[in-house]
Amino acid sequence: MGTENKTVVAVAGIGYVGMSLAILLAQKNRVVACDIQREKVERFNRHILPVRDDDAERYLSERPLDLTATTDARVAYENADFVVICTPTNYDDVQNRFDTRAVEQVVEAVLACNQRASIVIKSTIPIGYTRALCRKYGCERIYFSPEFLREGCALHDNLYPSRIIVGMPDERPETRRRAETFAGLLSEGAEKSGVPVMLMGLEEAEAVKLFANTYLAMRVAYFNELDAYAETHALQAGQIIAGICADPRIGSGYNNPSFGYGGYCLPKDTRQLRASFGDTPQRMTSAVIAANEVRKGYIVDQIIRRAQKCRSAEKTPVIGVYRLIMKAGSDNFRQSAIHDVMKMLREKAFEVIVYESTLAELGDYHGYPIENDLERFKAKADVIIANRNDRALDDVQDKVYTRDIFGSN
């Protein structure tokens, strides 16, 4: 394998998944990361990360890693033993499925220069997609390995994984050996010992990813509905949630109320799972998606009630949005529920301003004015909405509307 007895791994895509995986594997293997964005590659080679991740920054600065990045696909793939695909697969509302074109482009690039590499897809994909790729390209070396990473702490989750899953196209000894080898690379890079390794069929592995994320979305939607009931009936939601989650069968994960689930994974994965059912009867997945939309509408109604108390004949209340991020410690606000809340407020003719430290150099965000100075922002806003509360708002808590009960992610 590879050179100097090191396994050579190419990682396609330097987002939070590819970045963290490249760093994890580069501890003991030779890793070449590949991305089509030249600036991102150049910055990564200078140890500047594409997203915030404290553990990744620490590993880059403190650990001897055999890691380089390039925009040249041939350079990345031609000598690789494994090519791991971590390209984005956004949900296409027109096609009603993930946009997997970037995944196929990588597969084609690998097959054009390397006929021995095993290809492992980490990108989230529809159930049945990997097997369809195997048939399309006549290749029996394509695997699927779902990732279970949180943005902002992706490397930590790779270092301390709950499980390692590799989906295989068949049960031949050589196929299983390759799957075991890849799972071993992930295990060797982890700091957690004794991580469970599960080898299964392609479709089963793909289903694990979509059903796991839909379950998490369901928990978010459930506790958000509980919170709405408590708020409208003047009950203490935190006490109710604490009592429920003391049951070990339920546990305390994903129980902090919010403006709705969002982020890069849950919205698109729930919709893809709903589409995957086809003619198979289902109600719960559709109900989870619908509940999330209901939650955002409810939040808007509560904000408007708060704002109407500030309304005067001379001035329309100003709604201040404190941060666009989905959760504390993140710098990403893709598909954040706050976007829909802002849109609905603007449609109701409210003035909306934004404080978002990651956009400090911009004057506006999709037409919403950005106030870069936090003190001016707090002074201008009549109501401040915060998906996640912050100590920086302690002096204006009388203005703040949040459903953040536990001050956690």
| Integer angstrom CA distances of residue 136 from 85, 143, 389 | 17, 14, 49
Contact 257, 227 (CB under 8 A): yes
Please name the residue that has the structure tokens 């506790």: 223
Please enumerate in sequence order all residues whose Cβ is within 8 A of that of 250, keeping only pairs 6 or more positions apart, or say none.
244
Identify whether 265 is a catalytic site residue.
yes
Kindly list the catalytic residues. 265
